[in-house]
Amino acid sequence: MNRRRSARVARDRVATASFWKTQHGFPLPRKKKFMSTRFAPVETSLKSVLVASDFTEASSKPLRHAISIARHYHARFYLAHVVSSVGFTIAGADALELASNAARRDVTELERKLAERGDLAGLSHEFIVRQGDVREELEAIIREKQAELVVIGTHGRHGIGKLVLGSVAEKIFREADGLVLTVGPHSQSDAPLESTGGGRSFLFPTDFSAASFRALPYAISFSNHFGARLVLLHVAPVMPISESFSWSTAPDDITGMREEARQKALKRLNEFVSESAPLSVKPELMVEFGKHGEQILRVARSVKADLIVLGLDHSKHGRLAAHLPTTTTYKVVCEAHCSVLTVRN
* CATH code of the domain in which 239 resides: 3.40.50.620
Could you give the number of structural domains in the chain? 2
Residue 161's pLDDT is 33
Length of the chain: 345
Residue segments in the chain with a per-residue pLDDT below the cut of 50: 9, 19-20, 23-26, 28-29, 31-42, 156-164, 316-326
Residue 40's pLDDT is 44
Residue 277's pLDDT is 74
Residue 99's pLDDT is 85
Q: pTM of whole model > 0.85?
A: no
Distance between CA 93 and CA 13 in Å, rounded? Answer: 63
For residue 130, CA distances in Å to 110, 114, 175 come to 16, 21, 22
Among candidate residues 183, 201, 235, the one where a domain is terminated: 183
Dump pLDDT digits (tens) for 138-189: 999 999 999 999 998 876 343 323 334 556 766 776 677 779 998 876 776 6
Q: Are residues 166 and 63 in the same domain?
A: yes
Domain that holds residue 232: 193-338
For residue 253, CA distances in Å to 202, 256, 304 come to 35, 5, 34
Residue 23's pLDDT is 47
Among candidate residues 159, 183, 207, the one where a domain is terminated: 183
Residue 312's pLDDT is 83
Domain membership flag for residue 26: no
Q: What are phi and psi of 167, to 5 degrees?
A: -70, -35
Task: Work out the number of other CB atoms within 10 angstroms of the CB of residue 142.
Answer: 22
Dump pLDDT digits (tens) for 90-143: 666 688 888 888 989 999 999 999 999 999 999 999 999 998 888 889 999 999
Q: Are residues 112 and 230 in the same domain?
A: no
